[in-house]
Copies of this chain bind each other. A is one copy, B any other.
């Protein structure tokens, strides 16, 4: 089992580096629910969440919106726009009052070249992201549906930075994130609920027994 890393960029920066970075960019405040950027936007640069949370998603062809991820403060996004001429890959909007620091490509490059410690931190974040992505792909391939659901719940809790055990997520978003149908996710969640591990709500899933929930998947993978 790969060790799970979660290294927000900001957590790796010294305080003077944080100041330098903040000074080099532009800080924007977004009200709850406001769009930060649309999918496909030509907006090269690095974005850093100074406070609040950012939710990512896509619109289906029918216009329905699916959330695919949530990042907590300290995390950065938009790395790919820096090196390839790529547009923003996801629609992003603010969850709660959120401040986002935007570094232009040039500002980022200057910081990257001048400050090896910044470069190092950025690299660590990227590596941790890469191995999380590989880990996720592994899960998609190897785990049972039930185990996938459980790990996704933990992932949301971890990366979203939720302290309490109530996760604001719809079953349909879980389904979309895992590439399965809503019905299947619902059934898996029901089974977990029947075992007293979670409690289902309306747009909400509550983790009742974190420990036993974690154990339930090590059992599965051990098979």
Contacts and interface: CB of A to CB of B under 8 A. Distances in A.
Nearest to A122: B123
Nearest to A113: B116
Interface in A118-136: 119-120, 122-124, 126-131, 133-134, 136
A80 to B, nearest CB: 5
B127 A83 contact: yes
A6 B48 CA distance: 26
A5 interface: yes
A84 B137 contact: no
25 contacts: A2-B86, A5-B84, A80-B130, A80-B131, A82-B127, A83-B124, A83-B128, A84-B124, A84-B127, A84-B131, A86-B131, A89-B131, A112-B116, A112-B119, A112-B123, A119-B119, A126-B126, A126-B127, A126-B130, A129-B130, A130-B130, A133-B134, A136-B137, A141-B178, A142-B179
